[in-house]
Structure 1
Amino acid sequence: MTHLSDRISRVATSATMAMTQAARDLKAQGRDIISLSAGEPDFDTPVHIRDAAKAAMDAGQTRYTAVDGIAELKAAISAKFSRDNGLTYSASQISVAPGGKPVIFNALAVLVGAGDEVIVPAPCWVSYPEMVRLCDATPIIVPCGADTDYKLTPDALAAAITPRTKWLMLNSPSNPTGAAYTSNELEALANVLRDHPQILILCDDIYEHLVYDDFKFATMAEVAPDLFERTLTMNGVSKAYAMTGWRIGYAGGPDWLIGAMRKYIGQTTSNPCSISQWAAVAALNGPQDFLNDWRTAYARRRDMMVQRLNGMKGLSCQAPPGAFYVFVDCSAVTDNDSDLAMSLLREQGVATVPGSAFHAPGHLRFSYAASDEELREACDRLEARFGRLS
């Protein structure tokens, strides 16, 4: 009998994908399901981006490309970093991959192995610790509670560092909490990292353009330029431009790291989809004004969800400054958030994700990347389950 490798046996299944699939299965059975589990915009990919993909196909841009991105896309990414973040990257300092997840995995794969540690502030995206484990390294989960707005503090960072620490993962705005770091908070973390030159910083900025209430986005390489050679600034087109299925992620970093990632890509995925790359060029170089309308819609939905959920018995949450999630404390009504999430799916027809999947038990993550009508109906169903505060 053939046995699976130790590597795959120690990795957990993605809870977000599992819950989303469970919702799909119930829908296929004819159930009325409102899915608030997936981290996916409900808007369509803008027309000018779709048109660019069609034009690329008509022009015969359907063959292999350079393994880590076409020159035109790298130029668009470089311009984006300069325009939005005040960062300067040459083509040799940019990596493009088939999604943001491969960018992160590639960076980990070329730098860590058995005995190495990666600091992961929690609540955290479900894939960070598992990708670290796939690379035979050890994720060091650092709990960050509501008392610090779910953000890593300098003291907590310093306490987690050991001689084996290779990476710090920073996701701002955050999945699952929507928490976002200010420039001052990033600078305070940078002051700790300056004393530990062996540590690299991976900034996952995928929700950069989804910030609200006049919050000003910042990223580590921008705030602490002296750490530029130790920082990988990762982003993508999936969340901001509603291009989740197009599978384009990218990053800017030092030549030595991007070169190693290029070598790794050459023996694994090879190039991202050529058509998607041309669509991403149009996304980054094209009009950005539609993002204001989307942000307005997201902020309206967030405010409605936060108000309704805080009005239910046993639930509480903060109004997050970014992303499109509300992270709800449900510890007053259950000691098993996974069971609660499954019960809500089966009995109320509302799909969510348990906080334990994000290393934050006692919570539920709701995505508000859904229509106003769906969100109102979901809240009505949840209110019927939990009851209203008097």
Structure 2
Amino acid sequence: MADESRVKCLFFDLTRYSKSTQFILLSTTVFVFHLVQGYFHELIFKLPGFKPYSMFLTLLQFGIYGLMALFESLIQKRFNFRRAVKRRLDLRTYYLIAFLSMSTMGLSNTAVAYLNFPTFNMFKSCKLIPVMIGSILILGKKYNWIDKLAVLSMCIGLIFFTLADSKLHPNFEFYGVMLVSCALVADAIIGNVQEKAMKQNNSSNTEMVLYSYSIGFFYILAWELFVSFRLFEAIKFSNENPVKTYLYILVYSVVGYFGVNVVLTLVKQFGALIAVTVTTCRKAITIVLSFILFSKPFTFQYFWSGLIVLFGIYLNLYSKNKSKWDSHFISSFNRLASFFKLKKSPRYGIKYV
């Protein structure tokens, strides 16, 4: 079997397993890696004075992703450099994917500096909205009324969650909302572009990560050197506390790299919308853990507005699995109905009506 047709979860081959088993294993792995990454993401921005250097974090993140992808590719091709860097996609596609990757990660990292972390993750949980719009525009997909109701629920929940955050946090900045919204738009485009490119050209996860993040690294480097002029300032700041700064960024990036690899496998095997649904459910758990692990004010409005968003996510999942879920519901209803049709018998205790 060609290597490109195999289904891999990091170093493990899942090809021989059923689709359901593959989905469960891939989803569980995504949960573990991204929960750890989310913890270190918030930890990094808890460092005093780190707020202005979010793009420096993105620069190092892209550099580590690119180096790890190159190393992985060299191992796969037995350290034949020419084979390791061989690509199936044209560079123009990678230039676009790299720009979108830089945009979504750079804007996301910057938004964390201006938003409460649960609010940031709540917005990221609603990635389904722009992904669905992107699927319609890029892939020509169509959605039913359930999907549209799901989008409406997520929008309403987001509005009330954000309003609660603005009341509890006097330092709340709407600028952060704008940043994370732009990041979602870029995220929506990139997921569908990756799905279309990977399926049409049968490119590997390693190739996708190697080229998109390596090119993105030079985009960000140029930004830091010639636009923001903060590269050397960020290095000086990080060198003052190298253990925490570089160690946190290293763990955050390495765990994130593994997570990105698994998400790309999900995209390739099950589509961008399913992959986003998995990562969205993971973000819901991240929000809960953020309140538990990091002390922050809480209001009941967070709870019920979050439930509205979760209801929207549920509707989206139901829409994608409607026939299966309906059959299970009907089966359960019939069993329940037959149970209540039992009547007591004087001799044997029960009998059917």
Select the structure with the greater relative contact order (CA < 8 A; seq sep ≥ 6): 2
Whichever structure has more helix as a proportion of its residues is 2
TM-score between the two structures when normalised by the length of structure 1? 0.26
Whichever structure has more strand as a proportion of its residues is 1
TM-score between the two structures when normalised by the length of structure 2? 0.27
